[in-house]
Amino acid sequence: MNNSNPRQLSLLDTVRERGAMTVEQLAELLGVTLQTVRRDVQRLADAGLLLRFHGGVRAPASTTENIAHPQRETLNAAGKARIARAVAERVPNDCSLILNIGTTTEAIARALMRHRGLRVITNNLHVAHILAGNEACEVIVAGGTVRARDRAVVGEATIDFMRQFKVDIALIGCSGIEAEGGGATFRDFDLREVKVAQTILAQGREVWLAADASKFHRPAMVQIAPLARIDCLFTDAPPPAPFPELLDAAGVRCVVAADPATESSPSSPTP
């Protein structure tokens, strides 16, 4: 964009890195007033570089195709690591769980390396590789078709495999969470991946969703389930409006693994 000042360029880079932010978060991070942020956001949105939503802004994104796996690994890596630690603190030893596809679940797998007695079922070969290094953990890998771009295992064989199990915790990621029709849904890009995720939801006695803050207001093509289908959401920043109200109405616990500099006490779910 022509004639952008350094502050606007910094704002743009920040949103592109994190995916979605509220106006308040941007004002605090950039050290400027809410009015200044709103003016900058409006200008960047008018130029087509950002998309506004109620109370915040996000980077433009495709509704049909996800970001490549290597780029997703670095996108908000610090936030995903905080989510992973928050999840690991709440996963007890000697329990069973399913971890599905995604870089956030891969971060969670790394955070579980000191756990003992876990039995983990996964259709994510990266998760399997990570947790295979924990000799006190049993890893069960789903059969099916390996998707080369991210080592995900998908397809009808994967669905049939997952249906054999009933686990303490079914823990999945997603590509986007959208408000719609007075409620909210979480979504992904690949129908085959979504079919597996829907099957995983049915196999958990407790269902957890791990999604960093960039996933709020991010569009994706295929619905996995209504937000009310999960028991607990783990994220790395307070959800933007209208999600706090929607989470409360759906009876979903929300654990915010905030930056240590601004962290407040989260709720404490138990499996």
Mean pLDDT over all residues of the chain?
86
Q: Is the dihedral of CA 107, 208, 225, 121 positive or negative?
A: positive
pLDDT at 216 over 80: yes
CA distances from 32 to 7, 16, 37, 126 (A): 9, 19, 7, 41
- Predicted confidence at residue 58, as pLDDT, reads 79
Q: Which residue has the higher pLDDT, 165 or 260?
A: 165
pLDDT at 263 over 70: no
Ranges of each domain in the chain: 6-58, 69-256
Fold of 69-256: Rossmann fold (3.40.50)
Split at pLDDT 50, 70, 90, the class of 261 is low
Indicate yes or no: pTM above 0.85. no
Split at pLDDT 50, 70, 90, the class of 148 is confident
pLDDT at 8 over 90: no
Is 68 exposed, middle or buried, given 0-12, 13-18 or 19+ CB atoms closer than 10 A?
exposed
pLDDT at 225 over 70: yes
SS3 99: strand
pLDDT at 74 over 70: no
pLDDT in tens, 83-123: 999 999 999 999 999 999 889 999 999 999 999 999 999 99
pLDDT at 130 over 90: yes
- Predicted confidence at residue 11, as pLDDT, reads 87
Provide DSSP, 181-200. Answer: TTEEEEEES-HHHHHHHHHH
SS3 178: strand
Please state which CATH number belongs to domain 6-58.
1.10.10.10
The token pair that represents 80 in the structure block? 């995903």
Count of residues in the chain: 271
Angle (deg, nearest 10), helices 34-46 and 6-18: 80
